[in-house]
Homo-oligomer: A and B are copies of this chain.
Amino acid sequence: MASSKTLAIVLGAGPGTGAALAQAFAKTHGAVALLARNHSSLESVVSDVRSAGGDAAPFRCDVSSADSVADAFAQIKQKWPQHQVTAALFNANSPLQLKPFLEASVEDLKPGIDVNLHGAFHFSQKVIPLLLQAGGGFLGFSGATASIKGSAKFGTFASTKAALRSLSQSLAREFGPQGVHVSHVIIDGVIDTDRVRQNYGEAEEGTRIDPSAIADTFVYLSQQPKGCWTHELDIRPAAEKW
């Protein structure tokens, strides 16, 4: 008999948006598997989720490596053998480095390819079968302004973000009719993380995007009924120019 316990998997669960996703999906799903390349970045996130009464565990995962992703999913299965995976969040970040194109090296493409092409591929291939097994579920991708616009000096970053967005469309179209809801969120604005506040100070309401608001957006999408699914939406602060 199938378990009624549900599990959400958050990739890129370190401080900031990832931590907010962890907290939010722990509330809706009970249990959250938190994945990040840097395992130690997950400690405080795990303990925060647990303090709030959620079930969470950290898993080291280098999403660019098929083996590392497979390992993480095997450990998740071991940890929660009876849980059904009904939500998965792909929030892995590739670093944004603005560079005049002629000063860039092909190596500057690597982080984006590792994350937004190889990483998204590995993660989706592991997660979609679990969502199908659960009778359907949600797969969300974090996008950015660069996902829909290739600006000057954004060449290496924007190209792989556009690739990720395209993949999310292909997956949405292929797996929607099978019950897997795939969404892509265009985050258009500065995220109000601790690091941003340390570097730039506090901001007025409506000028930066709160990580918990991003997380709530994904929760909302994950709970849309089957007759009313959103593939893509944009989010930005009220004061943002666009």
In the complex, chain B residues whose CB is within 8 Å of the CB of A117: 109, 113, 117, 159-160, 163
Which of A1-9, A37-45, A47-55, A230-238 forms part of the interface with chain B?
A230-238
Name A209's contact: one of B121, B175, B227 (CB within 8 Å). B227
Q: Interface code A200-233, partner B: CB below 8 Å = 1, 0 otherwise?
A: 0000011111100110110010001111111111
Of residues 56 through 77 on chain A, the ones whose CB sits less than 8 Å from some CB of chain B are 66
Q: Is the CB of A228 within 8 A of B214?
A: yes
Q: Give the CA-CA distance A237 to B230 in the complex, in Å.
A: 9
Q: Give the CA-CA distance A220 to B222 in the complex, in Å.
A: 13
Q: Is the CB of A176 within 8 A of B240?
A: yes
Name A224's contact: one of B165, B213, B231 (CB within 8 Å). B213
Q: Is the CB of B232 within 8 A of A210?
A: no
- Given the known interface contacts A113-B117, A163-B159, the answer about A173 and B230 at a Cβ–Cβ threshold of 8 Å is no
Q: Give the CA-CA distance A237 to B231 in the complex, in Å.
A: 11
Q: Is the CB of A167 within 8 A of B181?
A: no
In the complex, chain B residues whose CB is within 8 Å of the CB of A176: 238-240
Q: Give the CA-CA distance A66 to B104 in the complex, in Å.
A: 13
- Given the known interface contacts A101-B174, A161-B166, A228-B210, the answer about A233 and B233 at a Cβ–Cβ threshold of 8 Å is yes
Q: Is the CB of A151 within 8 A of B170?
A: yes
Q: Is the CB of B229 within 8 A of A232?
A: no
Q: Is the CB of A192 within 8 A of B162?
A: no
Q: Interface code A111-135, partner B: CB below 8 Å = 1, 0 otherwise?
A: 0010001100110110011000000
- How far, in Å, is A124 (CB) from chain B's closest CB? 7
Of residues 126 through 178 on chain A, the ones whose CB sits less than 8 Å from some CB of chain B are 128-129, 146, 149-156, 158-177
Q: Give the CA-CA distance A205 to B179 in the complex, in Å.
A: 11
- Given the known interface contacts A101-B128, A235-B228, the answer about A150 and B162 at a Cβ–Cβ threshold of 8 Å is no
Q: Give the CA-CA distance A100 to B207 in the complex, in Å.
A: 22
Name A124's contact: one of B101, B171, B207 (CB within 8 Å). B101
Instruction: Beyond the given A154-B170, A158-B169, A227-B238, please list 19 additional residue pairs across the A-B interface where CB-CB is below 8 A.
Output: A101-B171, A101-B175, A102-B128, A104-B125, A113-B117, A150-B165, A150-B166, A155-B174, A159-B164, A159-B167, A160-B163, A173-B241, A179-B206, A209-B227, A209-B228, A213-B227, A217-B230, A227-B237, A229-B236
